[in-house]
Homo-oligomer: A and B are copies of this chain.
Amino acid sequence: MSVLIDFSIFPVDKGTSVSPYVARVVSLIQKSGLDHQLGPMGTSIEGDWPEVMAVVDRCFRALQADCDRIYFTIKADYRKNTDRRLHGKVRSVESKLA
């Protein structure tokens, strides 16, 4: 019953170099123990719905502590009775490439 999300979050009031804030968030995602993959435009996270929402909540609150403006996006894909899709989806597409 896993949900797979792409999650990106950053402060808008800290200028153009936001990687320290992104690192703070990625550290929380790592501590969650959920399967995840860091990408150039966001982090993919897979888990049960309440677990995934709880991680998003912790990441938001961690930036809220010292950021006055925060922007984030989530894209989510839920598919019943599936799991281990973080790597499986890419493999499924790759197997169909010539």
A residues engaging B (CB < 8 A)? 4-6, 8, 10, 12-13, 15-16, 18-20, 22-23, 26-27, 30, 37-42, 44, 46, 49, 53, 56-57, 60-61, 64, 67-81, 85-87, 89-90, 92-94, 96-98
Stoichiometry, copies per complex: 4
15 contacts between A and B (CB under 8 A): A6-B40, A12-B12, A12-B15, A20-B96, A23-B94, A26-B97, A37-B39, A40-B90, A41-B77, A49-B61, A70-B76, A70-B78, A71-B71, A71-B76, A74-B74
The 9 closest A-B pairs by CB, nearest first: A23-B96, A6-B41, A74-B74, A70-B78, A68-B80, A16-B69, A19-B92, A40-B89, A40-B44
